């Protein structure tokens, strides 16, 4: 394991403790992230949260599976529970495409 990986793992642990969220080993949390509903947010092993991400949990829980990645400037805001599986990636363009698909699907209903 190189020095960069060690530092990223250490920073991820420190930020997880500072935010009060549950995080597994090898988790990285970027700068300027915002978590609300901290006790209800769980990150499994080797999860990457890029800078400027917002994860807000209203009444439910958020669980992000092993080796998943949440891209820069993504926003996850839920009222109920959300579970993201293993090795999932959410980037800005993916979320935009999902939103466009929902609009198109609603036009054909």
H helix and E strand count, the chain = 2, 11
For residue 64, the surrounding DSSP H or E stretch is strand 62-64
**pLDDT tens digits, 58-77:** 777 889 999 999 988 888 88
Q: What is the mean pLDDT of the chain?
A: 81
**Per-residue pLDDT band at 1 (split at 50, 70, 90):** low
Q: What count of Cα atoms within 13 Å lies in the side-chain half-sphere of residue 8?
A: 16
């Amino acid at each position: 394991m190189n020095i960069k990986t060690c530092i990223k793992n250490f920073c991820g642990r420190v930020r997880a403790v500072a935010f009060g969220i549950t995080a597994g080993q090898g988790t990285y949390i970027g700068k300027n992230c915002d978590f609300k509903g901290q006790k209800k947010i769980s990150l499994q092993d080797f999860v990457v949260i890029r800078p400027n991400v917002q994860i807000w949990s209203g009444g439910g829980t958020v669980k992000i599976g092993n080796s998943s990645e949440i891209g820069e400037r993504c926003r996850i805001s839920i009222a109920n529970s959300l579970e993201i599986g293993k090795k999932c990636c959410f980037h800005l363009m993916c979320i935009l495409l999902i939103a466009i698909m929902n609009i198109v699907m609603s036009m054909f209903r």
